[in-house]
Structure 1
Amino acid sequence: MIEYLSIDSLGVIGDATVDLDPGFTVVTGETGAGKTMVVTALNLLLGARADAGAVRHGASHATVEAGFRLAAGNAAVGLAEEAGAVLDEVDDEGHDGDAPGRGPGNRSLVVTRSVGAAGGSSRSRASAGGRGVPVALLGEIGGHLVAVHGQTDQLRLKSATAQRHALDAFAGEELATALAAYRRDFDTWRAARAELAEITLHEQDRAREAENLQRALEEIDEADVTPGEDEEVRARIQRLENVEELRAASLGAHAHLAGADVAEAVDVPAAEALVEAARQALLQAPGQDTELTGLAARLAEVGIVLADVSADLAGYAARLDDDAASDLDAAQSRLAELTRLMRLYGPELADVLDWARSHRARLDELQGDSGRIVELTEQCERLEAAVLAGAAELTRLRTAAAQDLSGQVTKELHALSMPDATFHASVTGGGEPGPHGADDVALLLQPHAGSAPRPLGKGASGGELSRVMLALEVVLAATDPVPTFVFDEVDAGVGGEAAVQIGRRLARLAQHVQVIVVTHLPQVAAFADRHLKVTKDSDSDAGFTTSDVQTLEGEDRVEELARMLAGRAGSGSARDHARELLEASHA
């Protein structure tokens, strides 16, 4: 609901702030006083196009602001928070949610809109919760908060989507359950159809992909690579490329340790023999000197190590056989093969193996296309039957609800001084199934017998259309409400008992939602819980007119109703009639 509305320099209103309560609020005033500026201000807050001509003469810009109280589940909360708006938490009585002893409840949102004057430097700006937002976002937020029904603009239930949603909400739980089941079948059917189309449309491409994958995986499998094998092959290549130098080095070292071969002419002292000679010299020393004995033992250990190294060198040289050239060719060929695989699927051998693992599952999927096509075809046929049956059930339920809605709204129209009008909620089934069924829903008005039903807004005047929307909102109030309804001149062209019926129905609607009505009929104003009057003060010498908004109570309200009845507030009979209207409406 709207908690307050503040208007600054809009039209004839210089500066006015009004507090609004739940229930039925009426706005009255003399012609030209500026009653419509209240609706204009609300429309600006709902994202309507800004008119620089509406800025008060002499002002650089006009500003309107409203405080909204939102239920926690209202979609406007999410829209505002996504835009960065700050929303305060309040309980059901309007107290701050963090006040002592009070828990969080509803949310409070402040929305502002400013409009620059023609020729000025100020531009139209909008904010929600203290954060600047696009004007279009105000329209999205406002669509969940306020429904405006004016003489020239019936904002609510304008689109086919909104009309279908209203009918579905009116139909109740049975249709909601059927619609939820239908959507589950429809979503599954749509996904299965998309997958089947993808497979069949690209069948040749998928076959080529499978063939290429098969060759690649076979190539990797035949190569039988292991992680790090490329480094091992590089090391082997390096050794084989230097085989002669390695053999000479190992044999030379062996000769120094073990002595030259007897066939060799070179006289090379053997390290092993020298160490052994040194050990023997120590052992031949006189006495049992413990230090020399220890050194002799250490030389024995050195001799053992030298013997082991000598044997290893001999073995290393022996392994450098005469087949080194062929081994080098094989190693280089293996490295070339590994390098090619890494270039295609790498960059490392481990990556090649990971690629093979991940694409093996894709190959299994592609090779199973034939079976998957059969499976999906059967699934689509089964789901299509379920979707068509669900759509037919939705059509049946909507048609029944449409008949009930049509009867109730038509009855309301007859009581609202439209005795020849007939309301039609039309449901046309059998279309292409979609997320919401296969129905086209349209709300139509037949103004009088013999005329063809036409879409809302195309067969009625502004006042008649406002009454149609009032009748419709009264019927839908308990099932598909927005928090606040605004009616501008809903009573145009009626009077007498019809006006009383309009007031009664507005009061009935206000039992479910907040209702704000701009009216010139006292019969309607008498039913309001709160009465606002727009007053005009003209200063011919200063050359401007100023309007203000006042809250009327007690005798002030009686006086305003008397003015509306008789054209002047001082009439005694008019004042008596005004009191009678108030007593009757309260009763």
Structure 2
Amino acid sequence: MLTELQIRNLGVIEEATAEFAAGFTVVTGETGAGKTMVVTGLKLLSGARADAQRVRGGTDKASVDGIFRILGGDADSGPADGDADKLAQMVEEIGGYLDDGEAVVSRSVNASGRSRAHLAGRTVAAGVLSDFTSRLLTIHGQSDQLQLTDPVKQLRSLDSFAGLDDDRREYRRLRRQWAGLARDLNDRTVKRRELALEAETLRHALAQIDELDPQPGEDEDLKVRISRLQDADDVRSAVATALTAVDGDPEDAGESAADALGMAASVLEAAAGGDPRIACLGSRLAALVGELADISGELGTVLSAAPDPENLEDLLQRQQDLRELRTFAVDVDGALAWRDEARERLGAIDVSDDVLEELRARVSDAAEEMLAAARRLAAGRIAASARFAEAVTAEIRGLQMAAEFRVEVTTHGGDGKNLGKGAGKNATTADCGPDGITEVEFQLVQGGSAHPLGATASGGELSRVMLALEVILAGSGRTMVFDEVDSGVGGRAAVEIGRRLARLAVHNQVIVVTHLPQVAAFADAHVHVSKAATDATVRSSVRTLTEEERVEELSRMLAGLESDTGRAHAEELLETAQTAKAAM
């Protein structure tokens, strides 16, 4: 539920804070005081488009902050358990936090029209804000009355009453599945020649790649190996020269460095006698001979492992062959990725007779599943239509509306009788629309004649029908906002609207902007919006009225001014409303 709303520089409201409790709250005030700004603020929190013209003149930015209770509290002061868990999960996913089970939702818009949204301490897109608040908040304005004439909205209302929302979603899933398969079959059949040519081209390309059998990173490896081989002659020559200097040339009788050092070591060792210096020099020469032996062995190893220049030609040819893969990608790894995608595509465009026959069977099975779901939906809607009409009729008559509400259900592909299980028995895939094989029309029967709801109903009648639908379809744990939906209504009908709004508030939080004292009298709390005007500025303030102030406000709403007679009427109206609420 909404516990607090803070508004800054929005319309005529410079700064105001309103606290809301569970149950039924009314918002009243003189025309132009800024009552609608309360609703505008809530719409901003719902992710609605930000309008720079709503920013108070002379200021840079307007902002709205709402505090919503998500977890804890009374059973009817927060969202249903399933929604509460989802809302808490959304907060966790964005890295936000809940303060004692409450989430702060904020929206600001600057004078240039740019807006920012924040949820639970994190900056989010307006769409995320909309997803979050849509589970908490429902706003009804006078423009929503027009939606009552939308066939899709009417169908959704009937489904909600009949408990068919999940069935409709399942039907839509099956329809998407069938449509995808049917589109695939059509493409493969109609474009069979083009697809066959594409398949042959892919097979040829795949054969070319498979014949080369490239390995990941092979082109880069070849570059390194070729570079080494191109320098191989110089490497082999240098190593061989060094080895000859150490060990000598086998074809030359000349003395090697190792032999010369060995001879010098032997001579010194023989002549050393008792001279330690000569003995030391001999030992050092002997150590050099051993070191040269090790160096000679390692030089031989390097020489034998040096790349053979004769392999260079083969590697250059392989490099040239791999360059053919540039038809598919700039390098070998890219060509291998293209090969994998091509194989997947080739499998998807197989137009052989066996594959087409299998696909036809899948399309047929999907169509049967879709039609079965559509028939179940049609049967459910037909079965619920009479009960729904009776329930709405009872509500609107209670709202002093002398009319009968009727739900006309038309089923395509049926036998013309719209009888439960037989509904749509002859329907085909061509009859299946986005929401099934049925169409719904709400009608009002007045003076013995039935007419579409939007054709003859007045604004006041549409308001009462919309309220009747809300009372019938309402769940629990939501915040429901009504912006002067009682427009065009008065007298006894206004009392009944107040009664039903109070009944709606038993399991929901209801906030109503109204100009009718009969409605305001049923509220649990009364918020008043007042304005103070000077030659230079207009400022509005928002506050919750005390019981005494509430009587004064009702008196003003009844008589247009405060008087003893108006106060007496206001007190009587309050007492009557409270007695009616106690009986609920």
What TM-score, normalized by structure 2, do the two folds share? Answer: 0.66
What per-residue deviation string (whole Å, max 9, x for no partner) do you get for residues 520-560 of structure 1? 44433332111234557788xx6988765553444444454
Q: 1:451 to 1:66 in 2, by over 3 A?
A: farther
Q: Which residue of 1 aligns with 2:366?
A: 383
CA contact (8 A) 1:76 1:142 kept: no
Question: Within 2, Cα distance between the matches of 1:21 and 1:524?
Answer: 18
Q: Which residue of 2 aligns with 1:321?
A: none
Report the alpha carbon displacement of residue 214 of structure 1 after superposing the two structures with TM: 0.8
RMSD of aligned Cα (Å): 5.9
What per-residue deviation string (whole Å, max 9, x for no partner) do you get for residues 218-248 of structure 1? 2449xxx9996887788778879999x99x9
Amino acid paired to 1:169: S
Instruction: Indicate whether 1:213 and 2:206 are aligned.
Output: yes
Q: Which residue of 2 aligns with 1:41?
A: 38
Q: Which residue of 1 aligns with 2:501?
A: 506
Give unpaired runs (5+ residues) of structure 1: 90-95, 98-104, 115-121, 262-267, 318-326
Instruction: Indicate whether 1:551 and 2:544 are aligned.
Output: yes
CA contact (8 A) 2:63 2:106 kept: no
CA contact (8 A) 1:88 1:109 kept: no
Match of 2:346 among 366, 371, 388: 366
Secondary structure, aligned partner of 1:417: coil
Q: Which residue of 2 aligns with 1:418?
A: 401
Instruction: Indicate whether 1:494 and 2:490 are aligned.
Output: yes
Amino acid paired to 2:473: L
Secondary structure, aligned partner of 1:411: helix
Secondary structure, aligned partner of 1:515: strand
Give unpaired runs (5+ residues) of structure 2: 72-82, 413-426
Instruction: Indicate whether 1:570 and 2:560 are aligned.
Output: no
| Deviates further, 332-341 or 573-582 | 573-582
CA contact (8 A) 1:147 1:484 kept: yes
Secondary structure, aligned partner of 2:34: helix
CA contact (8 A) 2:63 2:108 kept: yes
Q: Which residue of 1 aligns with 2:324?
A: 344
Amino acid paired to 1:578: L
Count of residues in correspondence between the two structures: 527
What per-residue deviation string (whole Å, max 9, x for no partner) do you get for residues 241-282 of structure 1? 999x99x98999999655669xxxxxx679999999999999
Secondary structure, aligned partner of 2:376: helix
CA contact (8 A) 1:6 1:65 kept: yes
Match of 2:436 among 435, 438, 455: 438
CA contact (8 A) 1:536 1:545 kept: yes
What per-residue deviation string (whole Å, max 9, x for no partner) do you get for residues 105-162 of structure 1? 3423244567xxxxxxx44564443788888887776655543434455487787665
CA contact (8 A) 2:65 2:104 kept: no
Secondary structure, aligned partner of 2:446: coil
Secondary structure, aligned partner of 1:528: coil
Q: 1:488 to 1:88 in 2, by over 3 A?
A: farther
Q: Report matched runs for 1:142-541 at 5 Å.
A: 145-152=136-143, 154=145, 164-172=155-163, 175-179=164-168, 181-182=170-171, 185-186=174-175, 188-189=177-178, 192-193=181-182, 201=191, 202-220=195-213, 257-258=249-250, 331=311, 333-345=313-325, 359=339, 362-363=342-343, 366=346, 369=350, 370=352, 372-424=355-407, 426=409, 437-439=435-437, 444-446=442-444, 448-449=446-447, 453-454=451-452, 456=454, 459-478=456-475, 482-490=478-486, 492-496=488-492, 498-534=493-529
What per-residue deviation string (whole Å, max 9, x for no partner) do you get for residues 478-521 of structure 1? 27x8522214051633312x333222211111123222223344
Question: Within 1, Cα distance between the matches of 2:444 and 2:36?
Answer: 28
Q: 1:182 to 1:418 in 2, by over 3 A?
A: same
Question: Within 1, Cα distance between the matches of 2:91 and 2:467?
Answer: 32
Q: 1:208 to 1:10 in 2, by over 3 A?
A: closer
What TM-score, normalized by structure 1, do the two folds share? Answer: 0.66
CA contact (8 A) 1:35 1:534 kept: no
Q: Which residue of 2 aligns with 1:581?
A: 576
CA contact (8 A) 2:479 2:511 kept: no
Question: Within 2, Cα distance between the matches of 1:282 and 1:259?
Answer: 30
Q: 1:377 to 1:260 in 2, by over 3 A?
A: same
Question: Within 2, Cα distance between the matches of 1:365 and 1:62?
Answer: 53
Question: Within 1, Cα distance between the matches of 2:505 and 2:334?
Answer: 68
CA contact (8 A) 1:403 1:425 kept: no
Secondary structure, aligned partner of 2:27: strand
Amino acid paired to 2:444: Q
Question: Within 1, Cα distance between the matches of 2:319 and 2:243?
Answer: 35
Q: 1:381 to 1:78 in 2, by over 3 A?
A: farther
CA contact (8 A) 1:447 1:459 kept: no
Report the alpha carbon displacement of residue 23 of structure 1 after superposing the two structures with TM: 1.1
CA contact (8 A) 2:25 2:527 kept: yes
CA contact (8 A) 1:230 1:338 kept: no
Question: Within 2, Cα distance between the matches of 1:110 and 1:209?
Answer: 55
Report the alpha carbon displacement of residue 69 of structure 1 after superposing the two structures with TM: 0.7
Report the alpha carbon displacement of residue 438 of structure 1 after superposing the two structures with TM: 2.7
Question: Within 2, Cα distance between the matches of 1:562 and 1:357?
Answer: 79
CA contact (8 A) 1:145 1:483 kept: yes
Question: Within 1, Cα distance between the matches of 2:10 and 2:156?
Answer: 35
Report the alpha carbon displacement of residue 581 of structure 1 after superposing the two structures with TM: 1.4
Identical columns (%): 30
Amino acid paired to 2:370: V
Q: 1:367 to 1:374 in 2, by over 3 A?
A: same
CA contact (8 A) 1:402 1:427 kept: no
Amino acid paired to 1:205: E
Amino acid paired to 1:212: A
Q: 1:375 to 1:516 in 2, by over 3 A?
A: same
Question: Within 2, Cα distance between the matches of 1:353 and 1:14?
Answer: 63
CA contact (8 A) 2:219 2:322 kept: no
Report the alpha carbon displacement of residue 388 of structure 1 after superposing the two structures with TM: 2.3
Secondary structure, aligned partner of 2:507: coil
Amino acid paired to 1:513: N
